[in-house]
Structure 1
Amino acid sequence: MALSRAVPNLAFRRLRGQHSPAEFAAAVRRAAREIGEQVACDARYIGRVEAGEIRCPNYAYERVFLHMFPGLSLADLGFSAREAVRGRRPATAPAITTRNDEESDVLRRAFMTSGTATVAVASLGLGGPAAAIPAPRGAHRIGEAEVKAVEDAVRQIRVLDDRHGADGLYQSAAQPLRAAYALLDKGTAARRSTEDRLHAGAGELSLSVGWLAHDSGRFDDARSHYAEALATARVAGDPALEAHAFCNTSFLARDAGRYREAVRAAQAGLRAARPLSSARLLSLLSLREAGAWAGLGDRTACEQALGRAHAHFAKGSSDGDPEWMSFFGEPELEALEAQCWSALGDRGRAARHAHRATVLQNPHFARNLALYRAQLAGDLAHAGRHDEAAAEARRVVDALGDVQSSRIRAMLADTRRVLAGHGARTL
C-alpha cells in the first residue's frame, strides 16, 4: 500500500508571518517558559510542522501553541485531531531507533501501542502481588479493573523502591508505564470519573518511574518522565498531580545544578497546591524551594522558605494529603533541611539535622534510612569529624543489603574522597 504524502500546514505557516523559522522557534520557547513548559523547539521542528510531517503536536507543544494563539483551536492551527492521527497507527509499528525532545511524547506512545497484550508489575522480579495492566487491542473499554491495576502498579513500585532502591527497578518499571499510557491512548471510559482516575494513575506512575530514573542517575530520562506527568496533569486539569510533578521537577533541577529552574518549579508547585487541603504538601514544596535557594547561595531566601516549610508542617496531616506523600514526615523534614545547610556550607548544623533524621526514621523505609545516614556521614566528614564520618559510612555499607541507589553510593564515594584527602581511615 502506498504511503500518503504529507500535506503542508499552510495555516501554521501563515501564523509564522514574517518571522524566520529560527525566530519563530525562539518565540515558541519563550512562550513555553511563560507557562512553565519545556520544549526543545528549533527551526527544524518548525519546518517539519509546516511541511505537514507533524500532523498533531504532543501535549506540551499543544499547550504552548494554544497559549501563543488564544482563542484558536488545534484545527485552526492546521493540525489534525489527536485521535485521528493515532487511530490510524498500524498495529505493528516499525522499530524506533532515534528520538528527540520535541517528539518524545509521540514516539513513546507509538512504542506503547505496539506492545504485547498484557504487562505485569510482577516482571520487576522482586516479589509482591502482580498488578497486570492490559494493553488495549482495538476498541477497549476502560473500567474499574484497568484503573485499579494502574493504581496498584504505582503503589507496588513505591513499596519496592522503599525497600530496594531504584537501580534494579527502573528498566522493569517502564513496562507498566507503557501499558498505562496505551490505555489512555486507545481506551474509552464509560464515566468521566473513571477517565480522571486513569489520567491521575498514569501520571503518578510516570512520576514513580521518573523518580527511579532520577535516583539511579538517569537525569535525562527522569526529566522526560516528569514532563510527561506534568503534561498529563495539565490535560486532565488535575492540580494535585500538577503539584506533584512540579515538586519532582524542582528536586531534579536542584540535583542537576539548575537552581533557578528549581526555584521556579517549586513556586509553580506551590501555586498548584494552594487550592488543595494539604499543609504537608505546601511544606514539602517550600522545602524544595529552600533547597534551590541554598544551591544559589541565597541564605536569606533559604531561611524564609524553611520558615514557611516548618509553619505548614506544624499544621499537621489531613485527609487532603496525597497518598504519595507517605514518606514525608519529620525525618524527611530534618533530612531536607540538612541538605540546605550542607549546600550553604554550614556542615555542623547540617550534621545535627541529618542525625535527627536517622534517629526518627522508621526502619521500614530502608532506602531513606540509608540515604539519611549517607547524608550524615558526608556532613561529618566535611565538618572535620572524620572518625565519626567513617563509622557512620560503614553503617550505611553494612545496612545497604538489597538497597540499590546510585545516589547513596555517590554520597558514600564523596565521603570516601574527603576522608582520604585528610589521611583519615576510609570505608
Structure 2
Amino acid sequence: MASSRAVPNLMFRRLRGQRSPGEFAALVRRAAREIGEQVACDARYIGRVEAGEIRCPNYAYERVFLHMFPGSTLTDLGFSAREAVRGRGARGRTPPPDTYNSTNCTNSTYSNEESDVLRRAFMTSGTVTVAAASLGLGPLPGTEGHRTDVPRQRIGESEVSAVEEAVRQIRLLDDRHGADGLYQRAAQPLRTAYALLDAGATTRGSTAGRLASGAGELAISVGWLAHDSGRLDDARSHYAEALATSRVAADPALEAHAFCNTSFLARDAGRYREAVRAAQAGHRAAGPLGSARLLALLSLREAGGWAGLGDRPGCEQALSRAHTHFGRGPSDADPEWMSFFGEPELQALEAQCWSALGDWSRAARLSHRATALQDPHFARNLALYGAQLSGDLARGGAAAEAAAAGERVLDLLDEVQSSRIRAILAETARVLVPRRHTAGVADFLDRHAETARAAAAVAR
C-alpha cells in the first residue's frame, strides 16, 4: 500500500504553521477561487499530504499551491519531483490534466485548455479504473466488459483513495459541464467501486469505512448525474443504493447526503410529501455532525417540498431555519461535497420556493441575485440560475427581460450539457410564445428552437 512507503512531508507541515488542517484547507480553497481553479480540499487531504501519502499533487493542486507560495517549486514545498513519481496506471497512457490520481503523477505536461476530452476524462483515465485493473476487474473503460466476480481480498489505501478521487473528479466535471455527457460513462466506475467494496469484505477498520463511504458518495454523484440529465428513476435507484450503504456502514454523514438528494429528486418528480419527509430524515441524521451549512441545505430541501404542496407557512418556517443555520457560517465539519453551497445556491433554492408558490417577482429578484453572486467557474450552476431567472421573469410578465436572460443561458449551452436546464428553458419558451412580438422575444424563441433541434439531432 502507498502508506507503507510514505515519508512525512515536514516542509508542508511547517508551512501550515499554527493553523489546524481544516483552517489550512479553507485557505487552499480560497486560493483556488482566486485563480479560477476548483479543488475539494479538506482536512483529510492536508493530513495525507503531511503524512507523505500524496507525493506529488495533481495539476490543479499544483497551480493552487504555487499561487499560495510564489516563487516556490513543488520540491520547495516538500513534494517529490514529478518525473520521479510513477503510478501503476501511468505507463503507456496520457491522461488529461484534471484526471490524475492525487497520489501519483506522470512526467508529461498538458494544455490547461478545456475541451471535449475533459468531459470524458473521468471514464477514460479516472483513478478508480487504475485500481480496478490492479485488482483484475477487467479492462479500462472504453474496452469490452468488466468482471465482477472478484476474489475477496484486503483492499488498501491506493484503492480507497482511487474511489475518493473518482468522486471528486465527477463533481469537478459536473460543475463545469453538466451531467448529460457524463452519466453513461460514470456508471462503470460505480460498478467498480461496489466490486471493490465486495472484494474487500474482509477489510477492517478505517479503510473499510472509507471504502464504504466512498462507494456511497460515488453512488450519490452518479445519481445526481442521472437526476440532472432527466433520468429520474435511475437517480432514485442510485440514491437508494447510497442510503442502504450508509445504513450498513453506520455512516450518518453519508445518510444525510443520501436523504438530501432524495428530497431534491422527490421535489423535482412532484412527490412533495416525500421531499419533506426525506429532508426531515436527513436533518435527524445530520444533527450530531456539527455542520450548520448542511442543516441549512436540508432545511431548504424541506422548504422546497412545502412550497410544492402550496403550504406557504411550512415553507416560510423552513426557510427561516435555513437562514439561521446558514448565518452561523462554514466550519471544518462541513462535508466536502458541499463546496457548491454558498450564498448563490442559498438564493437560488429560495427562489425556487417562491416560484413554486407563484410569487414570480420575489423569485426573480432572488434568481438574479444568485446569477450575480455565482463564480463563473461553476458554469453549470450559472446556467441553471440564469434559466430559473428567465422563467421567473417570463411568468411575472417581464417578457423582454426574460428573453435577454434566456439568451445568456443559450450562450452557455455549448459548454454545459444538462437536460434539466434545457427543460427549464423549454418551459420558458412556451410561456413566451404569446409575447413573440415583444422586443427580443422572437430572437430568443428562434434561437432556442434551433438549439433544441440541434440537441435532439445529437441525441439521436
Query: Fold conserved (TM > 0.5)?
Result: yes
- Segments of structure 1 that go 5 or more residues without pairing to the other structure are 1-119
The answer to whether the Cα contact below 8 Å between 2:304 and 2:352 also exists between their aligned partners in 1 is: yes
Separation of aligned partners in 1, 2:263 and 2:204:
34
1:366-419 Cα shifts (integer Å, max 9, x gaps): 000000000000000000000000001001001222210001000110111111
The correspondence for 1:361, drawn from 371, 374, 387, is 374
Shift of residue 176 of structure 1?
Answer: 0.6
Partner deviation per Cα, 1:192-223 (whole Å, 9 max, x = no partner): 10000000000000000000000000000000
State whether residues 155 and 199 of structure 2, in contact with CA within 8 Å, keep that contact through their aligned partners in structure 1.
Answer: no
- In structure 1, the partner of 2:412 is 399
1:154 to 164, 167, 175: 167
Q: Are the counterparts in 2 of residues 260 and 292 from structure 1 also a CA contact under 8 Å?
A: yes
Cα distance in 2 between the residues matched to 1:412 and 1:153: 31
Residue 185 of structure 1, CA deviation: 1.4
8 Å Cα contact 1:143/1:189 also seen in 2: no
Aligned-pair distance for 1:183?
1.1
- Residue by residue, what CA displacement relative to the aligned partner does 1:330-365 show, whole Å, maximum 9, x if unpaired? 000000000000000000000000000000000110
What is the deviation of 1:236?
0.5
For 1:130, the aligned partner's letter is G
Partner of 2:397: 384
Q: Out of 276, 282, 288, which is 1:263 matched to?
A: 276
Mapped to 2, the partners of 1:174 and 1:322 lie a distance apart of 23
- Where does residue 224 of structure 2 map in the other structure? 211
* Matched residue SS, 2:190: helix
Instruction: Find the residue that maps to 1:140 and give its secondary structure.
Output: coil
Task: Report what 2:311 is aligned to.
Answer: 298
Q: Distance in 1 between matches of 2:274 and 2:246?
A: 19
Shift of 1:124: 7.8
Task: Kindly indicate whether residue 282 of structure 2 is the aligned counterpart of residue 288 of structure 1.
Answer: no
User: Matched residues in 2 for 1:370 and 1:189: separation?
Assistant: 45
Q: Could you tell me whether the CA contact under 8 Å between 1:138 and 1:186 is conserved in 2?
A: yes
Greater displacement, 157-166 / 138-147: 138-147
- How many corresponding residue pairs? 308
Residue 434 of structure 2 corresponds to 421
Q: Which sits farther off after the overlay, 200-209 or 180-189?
A: 180-189
Among 193, 200, 210, the residue aligned to 2:206: 193
Asked if the contact 1:341–1:350 (Cα under 8 Å) also holds between the matched residues in 2, the reply is yes
In structure 2, distance between residues paired with 1:417 and 1:143:
54
Within the candidate set 307, 311, 328, 1:315 is matched to 328
SS at match of 1:401: coil
Q: Is the 8 A contact 1:234 1:242 kept in 2?
A: yes
Q: Is residue 126 of structure 1 aligned with residue 81 of structure 2?
A: no
Q: Deviations over 1:106-151 (max 9, x none)?
A: xxxxxxxxxxxxxx98998533763123155323220000000000
Cα offsets for 1:136-189 (capped at 9, x unmatched): 532322000000000010000000000110001000001110000011112245
Q: Which amino acid aligns with 1:170?
A: Y
User: In 1, Cα distance between the equivalents of 2:121 and 2:240?
Assistant: 30
Partner of 1:165: 178
| Aligned partner (choices 253, 267, 277) of residue 290 of structure 2 | 277
Q: Is the Cα contact below 8 Å between 2:226 and 2:235 reproduced in 1?
A: yes
Distance 1:414 1:248 in 2: 24
| TM-score, with length taken from structure 1 | 0.70
The one-letter code matched in structure 1 to 2:426 is: A
* Cα deviation digits, residues 266-312 of structure 1 (max 9, x gap): 00000000001100000000000000000000000000000000000
State TM-score, norm by structure 2: 0.65
Superposition map of 1:219-234 within 5 A: 219-234=232-247
Q: Is 1:333 aligned to residue 346 of structure 2?
A: yes
Does the CA contact (< 8 Å) of 1:381 and 1:389 recur in 2? yes
Q: Which amino acid aligns with 2:243?
A: L
Cα RMSD of the aligned pairs, angstroms, is 1.6
1:274 is paired with a residue whose SS is helix
Partner of 2:194: 181
Structure 2: distance between partners of 1:125 and 1:209: 14
Q: In structure 2, what is the Cα distance between the partners aligned to 1:127 and 1:145? A: 20
CA contact (8 A) 1:181 1:202 kept: yes
Contact 2:347/2:369 (8 A) holds in 1: yes
Aligned 8 A contact 1:374 1:392 in 2 = yes
- Answer whether contact 2:120 2:181 (CA < 8 A) is retained: no
Counterpart of 2:273, as a letter, is R
Contact 2:119 2:173 in 1 (8 A): no
Q: Which runs of 5+ in 2 are unaligned?
A: 1-94, 101-116, 138-149, 445-460
- In the TM superposition, residue 421 of structure 1 has moved relative to its aligned partner by 2.4
Q: Is the 8 A contact 1:177 1:205 kept in 2?
A: yes
TM-aligned CA deviation for residue 314 of structure 1: 0.2
Asked if the contact 2:344–2:369 (Cα under 8 Å) also holds between the matched residues in 1, the reply is yes
User: Do the aligned partners of 1:124 and 1:169 also contact (CA within 8 Å) in 2?
Assistant: no
- The partner residue of 2:151 within 133, 138, 160 is 138
Amino acid of the structure 2 residue aligned with 1:336: L
**Counterpart contact for 1:226–1:248, Cα < 8 Å:** yes
2:267 matches 1:254: yes
User: Which letter does structure 2 place at the counterpart of 1:386?
Assistant: A
Q: Determine helix, strand or coil for the equivalent of 1:166.
A: coil
1:51-90 → structure 2 map (5 Å cutoff): none
Is the 1:214–1:252 Cα contact (8 Å) retained in structure 2?
yes
Q: 3-state SS of the aligned residue for 2:154?
A: strand
Distance (whole Å) between structure 2 residues aligned to residue 202 and residue 139 of structure 1: 17
CA offset digits 1:233-288 (Å, max 9, x no partner): 00000000000000000000000000000000000000000001100000000000
* Distance in 1 separating the partners of 2:126 and 2:416: 21
CA contact (8 A) 2:153 2:203 kept: no
